Amino acid sequence: MDSLTQIVLGGCVAAAAVPAAHRRKAALAGAVLGTLPDLDGIPLALMGADVVTSVTWHRGPSHSLPVLALAGWLLWLLLRRFWRPVREAPRPWLIAIWLALITHPLLDAFTVYGTQLWWPWPSPPVMWSSVFIIDPAYTLPLLVGFIGVLVAGPRRASRPLLAGALLLSSLYLGWTLAAKALVDRAADQALAARGLSSAPRLSVPLPLNTLVWRVVVMTPEGFLEGERSLLVDRRPMQFKAHASETATLRELSQHGAVARLLWFTHGFMKAEVQGDSLIASDLRMGSEPDYSFRYRIAQRGADGWQGVPVTAVSGARNAQAQLQRMWQRLWHEPVAGGAPVDLPR
């Protein structure tokens, strides 16, 4: 999630764990701790890490629950020695430190980018993909609670503000999972009718909301893309097919950097030819043909495709047009048979 959300979440959970007299201090300390895991980009930049390393190691060790649990305990030991509030209420402050640190990667896991919660266990990043990386509906209650604690401090008014902020934000996360389940059910029904029940599938909300969703389905020829508005859609989901150089991508999957990207994205990648280059796009973030992460992974030579050092590729992006299209899709269901649909049986 965005930095502001992590700041106010860390501040609220820390303030809720300590005695009233310490709430303002805990809110500020929790705000700092809530941002620490995302500083992993600094050492990567200092080491001159390549693009694949930078992308796939972000939300890695610094977001690991075991690592943060240990780091939080060590920090608590240090603070208990040198800072009076922690000495006065050691157990509540240990809980506050742990909550501020651990809620960061747990919240990140609700997004589609993926979070390596169990590093160094080499499992793919966890991506529950029920929340967009910026979601004002989740952040606003926490922001109100955080400001309320800073203003009210130890006074009784801060307690209901904190409780309300954490309750509303948690209920909203629950809603996002329920919304995702509704979308997945509609996708399952549409795909089962065409024999694609077992195809790898991903659902993710479109920007800044949880009412319009995008579904990506991987096929041998490429992938399918569909959308679902929970406000207006009543008919079966419609999908549009898109081609991908799947065979070439499969051949290159033994190339170290490409293998790492496929692991990181859970295989949700497409490959397309541009001139003499093969460009891979992360299908999880963006929508056809506009993606946030694109890479040049191979070059065509006399002997066919050859892997090259992976580099980032920029492309034309139009965020305003994407938001406008999302707004229209929120209120309008495609006419049955009116949108291009191409679903192989």
How confident is the model over 257-288, as pLDDT tens digits? 999 999 999 999 999 999 999 999 999 998 88
Q: Are strands 290-291 and 286-287 parallel, antiparallel or unpaired?
A: antiparallel
Q: What is the pTM of this model?
A: 0.91
The predicted model gives 82-91 an average pLDDT of: 96
Same domain, 187 and 323: yes
Rg of the chain, C-alpha, whole Å: 23
Does 112 share its domain with 187? no
Is residue 343, in this structure, part of any structural domain at all?
A: no
Domain boundary among 65, 97, 128: 128
44 band by pLDDT with thresholds 50, 70 and 90: confident
Q: Quick one: 201 and 317 in the same domain?
A: yes
User: Same structural domain for residues 288 and 197?
Assistant: yes
Res 125: pLDDT: 95
* pLDDT exceeds cutoff 90 at 48: no
**Among the ranges given (83-92, 147-156, 318-327), the one the predictor scored with the smallest mean pLDDT:** 318-327
Query: What's the total number of domains in the chain?
Result: 2
Q: Which element (helix H / strand E) includes 85? A: helix 84-88
Final residue belonging to a domain, choices 128, 145, 166: 128
Phi first, then psi, for residue 326 (nearest 5°) are -65, -40
Q: Are 117 and 207 part of one and the same domain?
A: no
| Gap between the Cα atoms of 156 and 158, Å rounded | 5
Query: Which pLDDT band, with edges at 50, 70 and 90, does 314 fall under?
Result: confident
Q: Tell me, yes or no, whether 193 and 319 share the same domain.
A: yes
Strand residues in 125-166 grouped as ranges (E): none
Q: Please write the tens of the pLDDT for every residue from 194-220.
A: 889 999 999 999 999 999 999 999 999
Q: What is the maximum span of the chain, computed from C-alpha positions, in angstroms?
A: 75
pLDDT at 187 over 50: yes
Query: Rounded mean pLDDT of 14-29?
Result: 97
Q: How confident is the model at residue 100 (pLDDT cuts 50, 70, 90)?
A: very high
Residue 146 has pLDDT above 70, yes or no: yes
Asked whether 295 and 316 are in contact (CB, 8 A), the reply is no
* pLDDT score at 214: 96
**Which of the four pLDDT bands, split at 50, 70 and 90, describes residue 343?**
very low
User: Across all residues in the chain, what is the average pLDDT?
Assistant: 92
- For residues 171-186, average pLDDT: 98
Q: What was the pLDDT predicted at 204?
A: 97
Same domain, 121 and 13: yes
Quick check: is 238 in a domain? Answer: yes
Does the pLDDT value for residue 316 go beyond 70?
A: no
